[in-house]
Chain A
């Protein structure tokens, strides 16, 4: 490690003569990551060190999660062998927990892209340390969403029939079905997300390559593709990230919209709705942002990233979550009021079910978790800056959003236009597979966090280079920081 610390003017902390101003500067530094620069080699250490730590907690967690995933694999095997009948899916509820999980995980998968892409193009500064953690969540949430669809397939081994290729049966995909739109949308989104994460990771993989030895060094040498950080590489990297951001945002919006159309295109009471698209997009972002808050809180403590993930980041995410609370409540109400006013008989039954039927506890818990709790608490900066409180609120939002999907899919589906075939869905193997799907996401994240830097060091360094304080009157104010 270099010792010429004084020779790095960019990352040197200015020494202020005035005692009051020095105090102010110290205060601002404690608050803002970008005003609290570290020398790059220290930053690299902070980013890389958590990757080597495999404590006892890590292994206990790893084995437990792996066991849960294996349990799911067995349940899935049983399902493939015995057929989907053992899931409890039947008429009228043909879509159960698997589709709930799909919609839920696709929603979680939105946050990564949105935080990374949208906040990047809008040059929101507090995104920097969060973006990678959010993108990684997107990867595993999308994998879980895709797996959930596969779990729902009766003849899994024929899944590739959906893909367009010149097959022996001379059949090409017929795009009349929303499920085919879904396949194409998810395929596009998964491809885009993987490449997007990789692009952002590239300079950090190169960093990891330069500061590791042994098998890790060899792995990162291959994955870094020979990154050296030349001007041309950076210029192309920046442009490609920009293109990706602008392309992936509409793709992201399109994915959930199409997922919602899987429902809205059916003439099923409770599903057929013209605002399902934006309503699902909002719900997806809402659940996703809350999930990122949970991940941030966990990795901050579990991986000792307190330097990177500060209260200001939770504050920013809290404001974001509050805005999404309003948007979600607005859409939910809009989706509710029109059928309520129409007074269609089946919708009346469904609404009665929510208000005072067997689904009432779920419905009221959803309203509490998704509307009342966040809207009542997130106003306060003290709440937003308190990490345990944010964690609790975010977990409630997750519960609420999961319930919302549950109420929409298997509950509404039990009440179609033919009252003689009404029924209630009791999940069976779906429960095991749902637990396994959650375990899979956490396990994937856990493993990812030991192989790849969860904090984008280059982005933070970029932000810190232009960090600065400007004196206005008696106070020091932080200036904005963006190289491009």
Chain B
């Protein structure tokens, strides 16, 4: 027993609504009637039951999904792959709120769009009853009815003023239609992702020529960069490499000692004391007292090690790199040497 689809075209909404009433009288169920129009007429205009929509719950599910995705990125991944950033919390509050907001919104939008496509079965594959005049202001009433009822329906549509009628075999939708649709949508999503990942994981690599090293900005306030020494390994901050002083030491001449003494009094004496004994004016305020520079322990250090302490700081002692130039630091090193008892 085959079904027939009858499509009638109308000029305006009143006759369309009348037609729906007539079809109901004939016993055509509401589900079998479809009204098509080029303008969003409301169900009230057509005298139809409102469409039961599930878009809002779908959007909410998307929102929850986005929310969880954001939590994964902002909370879970930092705990799994911990990267300490100087004293900052692993999961900073306000930025997390921002990311959570954005992902929630993105999830809502994607779910709304995806839900729309899924619920109205888009992209529609295959043939559907339609007439191009529907986007020209006409309204179409499509009834899918049993063969036996088709003639009655046709007569009813003519009676209510359909100016054109189309009758066709209604073929039930073939099985794999949903799969085709999903494959189509999935293909659009998957193919770019796969291509992107091939590049990201360097499966595909394009060796691009580049002259970045020779750009003008490098000459702005720096000389040509020296090659790293052979022993160099990447570590946090500068380290002293054996037999490779960070800069050339200054011989301990009278001039150097005089400069060193003045710089020592300006930069060091408030903690270490003018005589280097570690009893400067501020020395009482620290939990661990400033080092006694005259002691065996300090004097046993090499010049380079003292230089590195001045450059990097040590314990509570701050780095002097901003206060003293490398040459000045060597002067101070010479002065510290002269404090030996």
Bound pair: A and B? Answer: yes
Tell yes or no: A39 within 8 A of B by CB.
yes
Contact check, B37 vs A234: say whether CB atoms are below 8 A apart.
yes
Tell which of B143-151, B203-211, B272-280, B330-338 binds the partner: B203-211
Contact check, B112 vs A86: say whether CB atoms are below 8 A apart.
no
Tell which of A64-72, A157-165, A319-327 binds the partner: A157-165
Given A174-B78, A203-B38, A235-B50, A192:B105 Cβ within 8 A = yes
Residues of chain A in range 277-318 having any CB-CB distance to chain B below 8 Å: none
Tell me the bound Cα distance from A89 to B106 in angstroms: 34
Contact check, A80 vs B210: say whether CB atoms are below 8 A apart.
yes
Residues of chain A in range 214-232 having any CB-CB distance to chain B below 8 Å: 222, 225-232
Tell which of B90-98, B244-252, B261-269, B289-297 binds the partner: B90-98
Residues of A within 8 A of B78 (CB): 172, 174
Tell yes or no: B220 within 8 A of A by CB.
yes
Residues of B within 8 A of A360 (CB): none
Residues of chain B in range 155-181 having any CB-CB distance to chain A below 8 Å: 163
Given A4-B163, A164-B77, A188-B109, A90:B217 Cβ within 8 A = yes
Interface centre among B51, B73, B109 (most CB of A within 10 A): B109
Given A85-B217, A247-B109, A254:B102 Cβ within 8 A = yes
Contact with B along A118-159 (1 / 0, CB 8 A): 000000000000000000000000000000000000110100
Residues of A within 8 A of B110 (CB): 191, 195
Contact check, A239 vs B56: say whether CB atoms are below 8 A apart.
yes
Contact check, A231 vs B135: say whether CB atoms are below 8 A apart.
no
Residues of chain A in range 413-439 having any CB-CB distance to chain B below 8 Å: none
Contact check, A41 vs B105: say whether CB atoms are below 8 A apart.
no
Select which of A174, A188, A203, A244 is within 8 A of B112 by beta carbon.
Answer: A244
Given A2-B133, A83-B217, A181-B95, A171:B109 Cβ within 8 A = no
Residues of B within 8 A of A188 (CB): 102-103, 105-106, 109
Residues of A within 8 A of B220 (CB): 90-91
Tell me the bound Cα distance from A10 to B13 in angstroms: 9
Contact check, A181 vs B200: say whether CB atoms are below 8 A apart.
no
Residues of chain B in range 38-55 having any CB-CB distance to chain A below 8 Å: 38-43, 45-46, 48, 50-51, 53, 55
Give the residue name and chain of the B residue nearest to A428 (CB): B216
B216 to chain A, nearest CB (A): 4
Tell which of A336-344, A361-369, A457-465 binds the partner: A457-465
Residues of A within 8 A of B74 (CB): 175
Tell yes or no: B327 within 8 A of A by CB.
no
Select which of B12, B35, B214 is within 8 A of A230 by beta carbon.
Answer: B35
Tell me the bound Cα distance from A240 to B13 in angstroms: 24
Contact check, B133 vs A235: say whether CB atoms are below 8 A apart.
no
Residues of B within 8 A of A181 (CB): 95, 98-99, 102
A293 to chain B, nearest CB (A): 28
Contact check, B135 vs A187: say whether CB atoms are below 8 A apart.
no
Tell me the bound Cα distance from A11 to B214 in angstroms: 69
B337 to chain A, nearest CB (A): 33
Tell yes or no: B85 within 8 A of A by CB.
yes
Tell me the bound Cα distance from A436 to B231 in angstroms: 48
Contact check, B42 vs A171: say whether CB atoms are below 8 A apart.
no
Contact check, A176 vs B132: say whether CB atoms are below 8 A apart.
no
Given A225-B123, A231-B35, A236-B53, A175:B95 Cβ within 8 A = yes
Tell me the bound Cα distance from A208 to B101 in angstroms: 37
Contact check, A172 vs B212: say whether CB atoms are below 8 A apart.
no
Contact check, B41 vs A234: say whether CB atoms are below 8 A apart.
yes
B122 to chain A, nearest CB (A): 4
Residues of A within 8 A of B115 (CB): 240
Contact check, A171 vs B83: say whether CB atoms are below 8 A apart.
yes
Tell yes or no: A238 within 8 A of B by CB.
yes
Select which of A1, A225, A230, A258 is within 8 A of B98 by beta carbon.
Answer: A258
Contact with A along B108-140 (1 / 0, CB 8 A): 111011011101101111001010111111100
Tell yes or no: B197 within 8 A of A by CB.
yes
Tell yes or no: A84 within 8 A of B by CB.
yes
B228 to chain A, nearest CB (A): 20
Residues of B within 8 A of A85 (CB): 215-218
Tell yes or no: A250 within 8 A of B by CB.
yes
Residues of B within 8 A of A237 (CB): 40, 116
Contact check, B117 vs A82: say whether CB atoms are below 8 A apart.
no
A404 to chain B, nearest CB (A): 25
Residues of B within 8 A of A1 (CB): 136
A179 to chain B, nearest CB (A): 11
Contact check, B99 vs A191: say whether CB atoms are below 8 A apart.
no
Tell me the bound Cα distance from A462 to B209 in angstroms: 57
Residues of B within 8 A of A82 (CB): 211-212, 214-215
Residues of A within 8 A of B136 (CB): 1-2, 40-41, 44, 210-211
Residues of B within 8 A of A233 (CB): 120
Tell yes or no: A473 within 8 A of B by CB.
no
A109 to chain B, nearest CB (A): 16
Tell me the bound Cα distance from A167 to B77 in angstroms: 12
B180 to chain A, nearest CB (A): 12
Tell me the bound Cα distance from A231 to B37 in angstroms: 8
Tell yes or no: A472 within 8 A of B by CB.
no
Residues of B within 8 A of A206 (CB): 135
Select which of A39, A168, A236 is within 8 A of B137 by beta carbon.
Answer: A39
Residues of B within 8 A of A172 (CB): 73, 77-78, 80-81
Contact check, A484 vs B42: say whether CB atoms are below 8 A apart.
yes
A212 to chain B, nearest CB (A): 10
Contact check, B124 vs A226: say whether CB atoms are below 8 A apart.
yes
Contact check, B137 vs A243: say whether CB atoms are below 8 A apart.
no
Residues of A within 8 A of B101 (CB): 250, 254
Residues of B within 8 A of A465 (CB): 39
Tell yes or no: B59 within 8 A of A by CB.
yes
Tell yes or no: B88 within 8 A of A by CB.
yes
Tell me the bound Cα distance from A170 to B74 in angstroms: 15
A74 to chain B, nearest CB (A): 15
Tell yes or no: B34 within 8 A of A by CB.
yes
Contact check, A165 vs B53: say whether CB atoms are below 8 A apart.
no
Give the residue name and chain of the A residue nearest to B48 (CB): A231
Tell me the bound Cα distance from A347 to B89 in angstroms: 32
Contact check, A11 vs B124: say whether CB atoms are below 8 A apart.
no
Give the residue name and chain of the A residue nearest to B11 (CB): A7
Tell me the bound Cα distance from A75 to B83 in angstroms: 37
Tell me the bound Cα distance from A84 to B43 in angstroms: 60
> Which residues of A pack against B, CB within 8 Å?
1-2, 4, 7-11, 39-41, 44, 80-86, 89-91, 154-155, 157, 160, 164-165, 167-168, 170-176, 180-181, 184-185, 187-188, 191-192, 195, 199, 203, 206-207, 210-211, 222, 225-240, 243-244, 247-248, 250-251, 254, 258, 458, 461-462, 465, 483-484
Q: A41-B136, A81-B210, A240-B113 are in contact. List 15 more A-B contacts (CB 8 A).
A: A8-B11, A80-B208, A81-B209, A82-B212, A85-B216, A90-B217, A168-B202, A184-B99, A184-B102, A206-B135, A229-B36, A236-B55, A243-B55, A462-B40, A483-B41
A–B pairs, 14, beta carbons within 8 Å: A41-B137, A81-B211, A83-B214, A91-B220, A157-B206, A168-B201, A185-B102, A192-B109, A226-B125, A231-B35, A236-B51, A236-B53, A243-B56, A462-B40
| Nearest 8 interchain pairs by C-beta | A226-B124, A85-B215, A40-B137, A83-B215, A85-B217, A83-B212, A235-B51, A210-B132
